[in-house]
Every structure is written in structure tokens, then in C-alpha cells.
Structure 1
Amino acid sequence: MSATDPGSRVLSGMRPTGQLHLGHYHGVLKNWLTLQHQYDCFFFVADWHALTTHYDNPGDIESHVLEMVVDWLAVGVNPGQATLFVQSKVPEHAELHLLLSMMTPLSWLERVPSYKDQQEKLRERDLSTYGFLGYPLLQSADILIYRAGLVPVGADQEAHVEITREIARRFNHLYGREPGFETIAEQAIGKMGRKQGKLYRSLRKAYLESGDHEALETAQALLKEQQNITLGDQERLLGYLEGTGKMILPEAHALLTPMAKMPGLDGQKMSKSLSNTIGLRDDSDTVAEKIRRMPTDPARVRRNDPGEPEHCPVWNFHKAYSDEKTHEWVQSGCRNAGIGCVDCKQPVIEQVISEVEPIRLRIADLEDNLDEVQGIIAEGNERARDEAQDTLKDVREAMGLAYR
């Protein structure tokens, strides 16, 4: 069993659906840049997940995989601090997905909010497939195969982490009860010492009898500090604490990320499907032209018509990029018609170009050295697979599948 503390490991992935844009940068990648300095991060290209909705058009996935990793590296994701890999190059994801599917109730998958939401949004696609129904379970396998304790998500994705917790809990309950489990767990408590053992029992009782989550967290912290018990005993006592068996698969927690502050050029969410993006590979002229063509407050038909910044998509870009002094200039100038929309857009053009241009140049350098990028991916795949194999070994043993 891996000795990694699940609370120190982060797992996050992105589907390879094409070149990345500022929405990805502000919504996901800037958060990754922070997390890679704080946790043991595993960032993966979710190419199998892309097939759940684009199974009939897989031709672009291969090129998108490499493009995506190039973009990650260009913005500053560091392979020396995080493991970067491709989901399909670690087949243990698929095996764990299969094994978990044997014990996951169908109703759990059907009730995931995004299941029906996505069917509504993507009506033009035939999503009446097992792959689409089962993709939350594949997400769970992605998380559990690395025993990740933290998954960065927005509030709208918490349900995916919650089902992962339920699946881990069910797995541990079904397969974590080795012969004589309770006896072995009680013996492990005895190894903690009289005082610590007594404290563990009282905290366990408080949680199991009254659902005291503070007691649960205190007991979990207590176990992590123990020097007198083995890692195996620690995992047993974590499971015993929650009334399950040995904690073979730890329960992940959502690491809530702030809402992305990068709307699209039309004021809606930035999305390729809406053609309202600024790409990380756009050159300065393209960036400037896209921003100049942005719609503005419809009340400002003529230059001397007053407007309201809150009704203008350009103001959202100012909130993401401009300083307080510029904010005041925009608010005053727009409302009293002291500045025109062309004037208002110029500081945004300059700020966006200053952000995108260095990234674009690094992308160009990386694309001149694709062998190096592929080497980074290969190393990440190897490390990810080593970790995944460790987990799957424990899973097979727990399920009685370790025979030869």
C-alpha cells in the first residue's frame, strides 16, 4: 500500500477538446500553478472522458492531447513538481472502473445532476450509451486509483466528488472486512498506548453514536500522528472509526475553487462552442481585433451617449485585468460619456496581450521541441502507472482476485 497521505495528494484532469483559451487559464490552470507548490499533484489528460460525448469523432483526440500538454507547460505547470500524464496510458483506470461497476448501484449514476443536464444541453448527440451513464464512475476510478484526498472542483461539480466518497465507503464496507477484522482493529488500538487508545475509542463512539464530525476529524488526525502502529493498522483504524472495514480506498474531498473570473467576449461563459474565446495561441493582432469587435452597452449608440459599465461585456474584462484607478476611469468615463468604447477597450487590449503573448511564445518554443514534451508525458505516465498498480494490487487482494 502506498504510504502517501491522501490529504496531501491532488487529482485533476481536463478533456482534450482543442486548444486552450483564457477561460481554461483563469478557471483551472492558474489554480493548478498554486496547487503544484502545496500538494503532490497528478494532472491528467482525460482522453477516455472525451469519448463519452465524442465517441463518433475520435480523430482529433491524439493531436489535442499533445497540444493540451504543451499549453499546460507554457503557462507554467511544472513536471518537476506535478505528475502530468494521459489517462488512457494507465490502463489500471479502466480495470478499477470495471471492478467498481460490479458494486455500484445503477441509481447512484442516474441521480448525478450532470447526467440529465448534459443530455439536455447536448441533444444533438446520441448519449444513450453506457459510457455516458458510467462516466461519473470512471471519474471516481480516476480519483481512487491514486488515493487522492483532494479534488479541485467548482461548486457545480461537488456531486461528482460526493459519489466518489460513497463508492469508496461502499467498497471499504464490502471488501475491507478481512477475517477477524474487529479483533485485529482492537489489537491495533492496544498498540497506540493506554491514553491514546482511550481517546480514540471515545472519539469513535462520539462519531458513530451521534455523528460528531469534529470527533471524526480529531480521531483521523490522532491516527496520522501515531508512531506505534503500522500503516496497515492505521488504515484499519481509519475504517473502524467510520464503521466500515479497512480503508483500502480513502474518501476524497472537494477542494472548492473560486468561480472563474473570465467571461467570454460576448459576456457569456467563455466557450469554443460559442465562438467567444481568446486563445492562448492567439497572436497580438488577433487579440486586439477580437477585443475591438466586442459588443458594448447597447445604450451607447453614439459617442456622447452615457452608458452603464455593468451592462457591458468589456467591463467584465476590466474587472479581471485592470487596477482600481482604471476601474474608476471606466466607471466615470462611461457614465458621463467622457470616454468612448474604443478608448475603454484599449487598456484591456494591452493587458490581455501582456498576458497571452509570453504564453504564445513559450508554446512556439515547446512545439519546436515536441520530443521533450513527449518525454515529459512518458515519464508522467510511468510514475502514474506505478502508483495505480500499487492501488490495484490492494483492490484485487481485497476482492479475492490476487490468485495466479
Structure 2
Amino acid sequence: MNTETTKPVILTGDRPTGPLHLGHLTGSLQNRVAMQETHDQYVLIADMQALTDNAHDPGKIRRNILEVMLDYLAVGIDPGKTTFCLQSGIPALHELTALFMNFVSVGRLERNPTIRSEIAARGFERSVPLGFLNYPVSQAADITAFGATAVPVGEDQLPIIEQTNEIVRKINNQAGKSVLTECRAIIPKVGRLPAVDGSSKMSKSSGTAIHLSASPDEIRRAVRMMYTDPGHLKVSDPGKVEGNVVFTYLDAFDPDEQAVAELKDHYRRGGLGDVKLKKRLEEVLENVISPIRSRRDSFAADPAEALRILKQGTRTGDLISKATLDRTREAVGVFSFDDQYELG
């Protein structure tokens, strides 16, 4: 649990739509473990945002809150250094979202390239849920509520950070003073891992991701279905490294960079079969996942403790967010009866 600190504030998190996978590990989780040493870090389990395209199955969200929390603890995110919060348990976030909605037009949201691409990917067209269209505003509320100055995101999420800072500037300009803090994006060094079938993005539900809790058999099955080079029909054939998912994963997880470089040279000139290559990757991934799986099993033996950590952190997040909400309400001219504001 965080205490008062002068460290820069960072906000990050995930939607609890399923257990976390290797793409999360390289894209965010490893960075969170490192940044909790240098930042005042808050990790938000964004269950309300998960409902924006899963409202038909809220049980899915509820079930995965614990799963995601166990993954966080298993990879080494320390509750003594990081505050974990549940989005739905912080009412101030939702009121901030409602306030911010008055500073953003529908047209601006529809022009957000992140929103446009996600709407197209889900086939929403004009049937897009309002909550989904509005999730950049919800994310802006999350970021500003904690006073985050840094937010780790993929490049595809940069428009969300831009929109957040637009809202911050509008409110600060109206107030004539600095009420909310602008933030910057932190882009992970490792790009997004492809799905095991070679498609552009891992999916928690389609079987194209390797979960952090994967068993040795599950790792083996996933590696065997990995896309390599369709032109590499015989062991003696020269093969392509570029676009080869097995090499992408070796680059991300094999600690022996020299050995991987030699494998690439061997594959390009021919004489290295996919079976041997995949066998190495299986061993590499088992070495990565095995300690995570073991720690996760240990935490899963006492789920009440994991939920207690989340509940305690949510209380802390609620206090911090409420203070931001109060400042913002005053800045935009919204008062409560507690302010003894005389109506009329």
C-alpha cells in the first residue's frame, strides 16, 4: 500500500475480461514491477470499462476480478509498493466522468482513432454502446483522479492520452488556475506480441494467447500451433525470420540473445527445422511461466487475502479521487449542499 511520497504518480491497469497473458507481461506487467520502485503507482482493475462491451455478461467481469488480481501478485507487483483499486468501488471516478463529458463533443470522440478502430473491430457501427464511445472520457477521469503524471500505454492508446490532456486544459482554462495535471505516455520498449496464430493481437477468449497460469501442456499446444514460415517446407529449406512468430517470442523471452541470433542465421540458410525451434521456445516459456504459475497457486490458496488487498487499496483510491472531484466541482462551478451554497 502506498504512503505519502514525493515520487511521480503513475496510473495503469487492465479490464478484467479474462486472465492475463504473455502479451500483458511484456507490454505492461514487467514495467509495473520496475516502476513501483521509482513511482507512486496505482493499478486500477477497470471493471466498469469492461462492461462497455460486456454488459450482456457481467458475471464474466465479476469472475475475472480475482483472476487478474492473482496475476498481478504472481508477477511481483507488491501491495507494499503499489496500490490496487477496483474502479467500480470509487464513486468519484464516475462523477468525474459525468463532469468531463460536458467538455467533450460526440464528434471529437468519434474522431478518436483508437475509438474508430475498436468500433470497427467489434462491428458496432452505429450500434456502439454509449459507454464504449465514452470510454476515453472515463479513462481521463481515472488518470486525473489520481493526479497521474505518467501513464504506460501502447502506441494505439496515445489518442486517449491526448484527449485526457485536452480535457485537463479546458478545465484549467475555465478555472483560471491549475486544477488538474496533464500526463505523458510511457511506451513500452517491447512492441505488442502477436497472437500464436500470427494474427495481430492476442485474444483472451479465442485461444490465441498464452496465459500466465498456463500449464506445460498448454504452453506446448500453443507453441505447436505458432505461425512460422509457410515456405519452410523441409528442414533443409532456407526460412524467413521476419514475421515468424516463434522468433518474435524468442526475441521477447529468451535471455540468450547470442544463441537466438545464431538460430536466426541457421534458419535463414536452411538446416534448422521448426520442430527443434519450437522445442527451444517451449523450454524458454516454461522457464518464464513456471515461477509465476507457482506464486499464483500460492496466492490462489488464500483468495480472501488478495481481495482484502484490493479492498484496502480501493479505500485509499476513493479518498484520493474524492479530493480531486471536490477541486474539479469547484473549478467548473458545481456546488453541493455541504458547501452551504444558497440557491436562488
Structure 1 gap ranges (5+): 177-244
Shift of 1:246: 1.6
User: Which whole-Å CA distance do the structure 1 matches of 2:212 and 2:159 have between them?
Assistant: 30
Residue 197 of structure 2 is aligned to residue 256 of structure 1: no
User: Which whole-Å CA distance do the structure 1 matches of 2:327 and 2:143 have between them?
Assistant: 15
Match of 2:103, SS state, is coil
Residue 181 of structure 2 is aligned to residue 247 of structure 1: no
Q: Are the equivalent residues in 2 in contact too, given 1:90–1:384 (CA < 8 A)? A: yes
Q: Deviations for 1:243-289, whole angstroms, at most 9, x for unmatched residues?
A: xx121112222223334353322233322355321111111122123
Shift of 1:28: 1.1
Residue 22 of structure 2 is aligned to residue 22 of structure 1: yes
User: Which whole-Å CA distance do the structure 1 matches of 2:179 and 2:124 have between them?
Assistant: 41
Q: Deviations for 1:210-247, whole angstroms, at most 9, x for unmatched residues?
A: xxxxxxxxxxxxxxxxxxxxxxxxxxxxxxxxxxx121
Shift of 1:400: 4.1
User: Which whole-Å CA distance do the structure 2 matches of 1:284 and 1:8 have between them?
Assistant: 39
- The one-letter code matched in structure 1 to 2:234 is R
Q: 1:283 to 1:291 in 2, by over 3 A?
A: same
Shift of 1:373: 0.4
Give the alignment partner of residue 301 of structure 2, picking from 368, 384, 396: 368
Residue 335 of structure 2 is aligned to residue 401 of structure 1: yes
Larger Rg over CA atoms: 1
Please list, as runs of the form range in 1=range in 2, the aligned pairs for 1:161-176 lying within 5 A after superposition: 161-174=161-174, 176=175
Partner of 1:143: 143
Partner of 1:388: 321
Residue 95 of structure 2 is aligned to residue 95 of structure 1: yes
Partner of 1:266: 197
Shift of 1:33: 1.1
Q: 1:339 to 1:377 in 2, by over 3 A?
A: same
Q: Are the equivalent residues in 2 in contact too, given 1:155–1:256 (CA < 8 A)? A: yes
Match of 1:24, SS state, is helix
User: Which whole-Å CA distance do the structure 2 matches of 1:250 and 1:310 have between them?
Assistant: 42
Partner of 1:377: 310
User: Which whole-Å CA distance do the structure 2 matches of 1:131 and 1:352 have between them?
Assistant: 37
Please list, as runs of the form range in 1=range in 2, the aligned pairs for 1:208-357 lying within 5 A after superposition: 245-260=176-191, 262-268=193-199, 269-322=201-254, 323-357=256-290
Paired residues in the alignment total: 332
Q: Are the equivalent residues in 2 in contact too, given 1:261–1:320 (CA < 8 A)? A: no
Residue 77 of structure 2 is aligned to residue 77 of structure 1: yes
Moved more, 160-169 or 305-314: 305-314
User: Which whole-Å CA distance do the structure 1 matches of 2:138 and 2:225 have between them?
Assistant: 41
> Structure 2 length normalisation: TM-score?
0.90
Q: Are the equivalent residues in 2 in contact too, given 1:23–1:260 (CA < 8 A)? A: no
Q: Are the equivalent residues in 1 in contact too, given 2:51–2:58 (CA < 8 A)? A: yes
Q: 1:256 to 1:305 in 2, by over 3 A?
A: closer
Q: 1:147 to 1:126 in 2, by over 3 A?
A: same
Match of 2:152, SS state, is strand
Q: Are the equivalent residues in 1 in contact too, given 2:109–2:134 (CA < 8 A)? A: yes
User: Which whole-Å CA distance do the structure 2 matches of 1:129 and 1:348 have between them?
Assistant: 41
User: Which whole-Å CA distance do the structure 2 matches of 1:166 and 1:124 have between them?
Assistant: 26
Q: 1:311 to 1:249 in 2, by over 3 A?
A: closer
> Structure 1 length normalisation: TM-score?
0.77
User: Which whole-Å CA distance do the structure 2 matches of 1:391 and 1:82 have between them?
Assistant: 20
Residue 112 of structure 2 is aligned to residue 112 of structure 1: yes
Shift of 1:396: 2.7
User: Which whole-Å CA distance do the structure 1 matches of 2:116 and 2:197 have between them?
Assistant: 27
Q: Deviations for 1:111-149, whole angstroms, at most 9, x for unmatched residues?
A: 211222222111168743321221111111111111211
Match of 2:11, SS state, is strand
Shift of 1:341: 1.6
Moved more, 389-398 or 354-363: 389-398
- The one-letter code matched in structure 2 to 1:266 is D
- The one-letter code matched in structure 1 to 2:92 is E
Q: Deviations for 1:359-381, whole angstroms, at most 9, x for unmatched residues?
A: 11111111111111011001100
Q: Are the equivalent residues in 2 in contact too, given 1:309–1:330 (CA < 8 A)? A: no
User: Which whole-Å CA distance do the structure 1 matches of 2:233 and 2:75 have between them?
Assistant: 39
Moved more, 49-58 or 39-48: 49-58
Q: 1:165 to 1:336 in 2, by over 3 A?
A: closer
Q: 1:127 to 1:260 in 2, by over 3 A?
A: farther
Q: Deviations for 1:19-45, whole angstroms, at most 9, x for unmatched residues?
A: 111011111111111111111011100
User: Which whole-Å CA distance do the structure 1 matches of 2:207 and 2:124 have between them?
Assistant: 18
Match of 1:37, SS state, is coil
User: Which whole-Å CA distance do the structure 2 matches of 1:126 and 1:33 have between them?
Assistant: 40
User: Which whole-Å CA distance do the structure 2 matches of 1:113 and 1:366 have between them?
Assistant: 39
Match of 2:236, SS state, is coil
- The one-letter code matched in structure 2 to 1:155 is E
Shift of 1:102: 2.8
